[in-house]
Amino acid sequence: MQLGAAESIQPTHRLNVVGFFCPVPVAEAKKALSTMNKGQVLEVWADDPETLHDLPMIIERSGHTLVSIESDAGEYRFLVEVAA
């Protein structure tokens, strides 16, 4: 699964929460995003299927932009651009 064209966007920050389950991936992503500046891009790697629902919802509520979601071998890669 791939949503959006993320090939040209390079992450400025990376977060690996593979092996962690709800609420850790969302909480860690929120914490990382709160320290970033507008225009920076966070790459999040997770393997908890709940992140496919929870992370996009949190990103939308916070006003950031979900650039893409990719899935490969049970792991999910999210790219998030910081709005403010």
Instruction: Tell me the catalytic residues.
Output: 22
Residues 6+ apart with CB under 8 A from 64: 33, 80, 81, 82, 83
Distance in angstroms (rounded) separating the CA atoms of residues 77 and 25: 12
Closest CA to 33 of 63, 2, 53: 63
